[in-house]
A and B are shown apart, each in its own frame.
Chain A
Amino acid sequence: MEHIVSARGLVKQFGAYRAVDAVDFDIPRGSCFGFLGPNGAGKTTTLKMMLGLSPQMSGSLEVYGLQVSEQARQIRARTGVVPQADNLDPDFTVIENLKTYASYFGLKPAVVGDRLEALLDFAALQGRRDSKIHTLSGGMKRRLVIARALINQPEMVVLDEPTTGLDPQARHVIWSRLNDLKEQGTTLVLTTHYMEEAERLCDELVIMDQGRILAQGQPAALISCHVEPEVIELRGERSRPLGDVALRHGCRVERLGSSLYCYTDDSAPFVSELKQAEGLTFMHRPAGLEDVFLKLTGRELRD
Chain B
Amino acid sequence: MNYWQPPRIRIDAIAVWKRNIQVWRKLIGPAVLMNFGEPTLYLLGLGFGLGHFVGEMSGMPYLAFLASGIIASSAMTTATFEGMYSVYTRMDPQRTYEAIMATPLEVDDILAGEMLWCGTKSLFSGIAILLVASMLGVVSGWQALWVLPVVFLIGLCFAGMAMVMSAFATNYDFFNYYFVLAITPMFILCGVFYPIDSLPELAQAAVQLLPLTHAVALTRPLVAGGELTMPLLHIGVLGLYGFVGFYISVALVRKRLLV
> In the assembly, what is the distance between CA of A76 and CA of B106, in Å?
10
Determine if A203 is an interface residue (Cβ-Cβ < 8 Å).
no
Please tell me if B240 contacts chain A, counting CB pairs below 8 Å. Answer: no
The verdict on B102 contacting chain A, using a C-beta distance below 8 Å, is yes
The answer, yes or no, to whether A229 is at the interface (CB within 8 Å) is no
Kindly state whether residue A83 has any CB partner on chain B within 8 Å: yes
For B1, list chain A residues within 8 Å (CB): 55, 69
Do A73 and B104 have beta carbons less than 8 Å apart? yes
Q: Are A81's CB and B15's CB within 8 A?
A: no
- B99 on the A face (CB < 8 A): yes
Q: Tell me whether A83 and B106 are in contact in the complex, defined as CB-CB below 8 angstroms, given that A54-B258, A54-B259, A55-B1 are known contacts.
A: no
Query: Does B143 count as interface, using CB distance less than 8 angstroms?
Result: no
The stretch of B17-25, B60-68, B114-122, B152-160 that contacts the partner chain: B17-25
Q: A55-B1, A87-B96 are in contact. Are A103 and B101 (CB under 8 A)?
A: no
Q: Is the CB of A103 within 8 A of B15?
A: yes
Query: Please, which residue of chain A has its CB at the minimum distance from the CB of B3?
Result: A55
B98 within 8 A of A: yes
Chain B residues with CB below 8 A from A194, complex form: none
Tell me if A103 and B94 are in contact (CB < 8 A).
no
Q: Which residue of A lies closest to B100 (CB)?
A: A104
Q: Which of B199-235 contact A (CB under 8 A)?
A: none
Instruction: List chain A residues, Cβ under 8 A from B257.
Output: 53
User: Within 8 Å of chain A (Cβ to Cβ): is B103?
Assistant: yes
Residue of A nearest to B1 (CB): A55
How far is A103 from B101 in the complex, measured between Cα atoms in Å?
Answer: 13
Instruction: Give the docked Cα–Cα distance between A51 and B106 (Å).
Output: 12
The answer to whether A76 and B12 touch across the interface, beta carbons within 8 angstroms, is no
How many angstroms between the C-alpha atoms of A106 and B98 in the bound complex? 18
Q: Are B96 and A92 in contact (CB under 8 A)?
A: no
Contact present for B23 and A83 (CB under 8 Å): no
Q: Which of B1-44 contact A (CB under 8 A)?
A: 1, 12, 15-16, 18-19, 22-23, 26
Binary flags per residue of A206-233, CB closer than 8 Å to B gives 1, else 0: 0000000000000000000000000000
By CB atoms of chain A within 10 A, which of B101, B104, B259 has the most?
B104
Say yes or no: A87 contacts B98, CB within 8 Å: yes
Q: Which B residue's beta carbon lies closest to that of A56?
A: B1
The contact of A81 among B26, B94, B102, B105, by CB within 8 Å, is B102
- How many residues of chain A have a CB within 8 Å of chain B? 27
Which residues of B in the span 48-72 have a Cβ within 8 Å of any Cβ on A? none
Contacts of A166 in B (CB 8 A): none
In the docked arrangement, what's the CA distance between A74 and B105, Å? 10
B19 touches A103 (CB 8 A): yes
Residues in chain A near residue B100, CB distance under 8 A: 104
Which of the residues B23, B96, B103, B259 comes within 8 Å of A105, measured between beta carbons? B103
B95 lies within 8 A of chain A by Cβ:
yes
Known contacts A73-B106, A92-B23, A106-B12; is-contact A53 B101 (Cβ 8 Å): yes
Asked if A175 is an interface residue, CB under 8 A from chain B, the answer is no
Q: Mark A79-110, 1 if CB is under 8 A from B, else 0.
A: 00101010111111000100011011110000
C-alpha spacing A77/B101, complex, angstroms: 11
| Among candidates B18, B96, B102, residue contacting A83 with C-beta atoms closer than 8 Å | B102
B99, A76: Cβ atoms closer than 8 Å:
no
A91 and B258: CB pair below 8 A? no
Contacts of B103 in A (CB 8 A): 76-77, 101, 104-105, 152
Asked whether, in the complex, the Cβ of B104 is within 8 Å of the Cβ of A103, the reply is: no
Which residues of chain B come closer than 8 Å to A69, judged between CB atoms?
1
- A85 contacts across to B, CB distance below 8 A: 95
Cβ contact within 8 Å between B104 and A77: yes
| Contact A89 to B96, CB < 8 A, known contacts A73-B106, A76-B103 | yes
Partner of B22 from the list A100, A101, A152 (CB cut-off 8 Å) is: A100
Complex Cα gap A69–B22 (Å)? 33
Whether B104 pairs with A104 at a CB distance below 8 angstroms is yes
B96 touches A96 (CB 8 A): no
Could you tell me the distance between the alpha carbons of A73 and B103 in the complex, rounded to whole angstroms? Answer: 8
Q: Would A87 and B95 be within 8 Å (CB), given that A92-B23, A100-B22, A103-B19 are in contact?
A: yes
Q: Within the complex, what minimum Cβ distance (angstroms) separates A146 from chain B?
A: 13
Which residues between 88 and 113 of chain B lie within 8 Å of chain A, taking CB atoms? 94-96, 98-106
A94 to chain B, nearest CB (A): 15
Return 19 A-B CB contacts under 8 Å, by A number: A14-B259, A53-B101, A53-B257, A55-B1, A55-B258, A73-B104, A74-B104, A76-B104, A77-B104, A88-B99, A89-B19, A89-B99, A91-B23, A92-B23, A101-B99, A101-B103, A103-B15, A103-B19, A104-B16
19 new A-B contacts, CB < 8 A, other than A53-B257, A91-B26, A104-B16, are A53-B101, A53-B102, A55-B1, A55-B258, A76-B103, A83-B99, A85-B95, A87-B95, A89-B96, A91-B23, A92-B23, A96-B22, A100-B22, A101-B103, A104-B104, A104-B105, A105-B103, A105-B104, A106-B15
Q: Which residues of B contact A (CB under 8 A)?
A: 1, 12, 15-16, 18-19, 22-23, 26, 94-96, 98-106, 257-259
What 8 A-B pairs have minimum CB-CB distances, sorted nearest first?
A: A55-B1, A81-B102, A104-B103, A87-B95, A87-B99, A91-B23, A77-B104, A73-B104
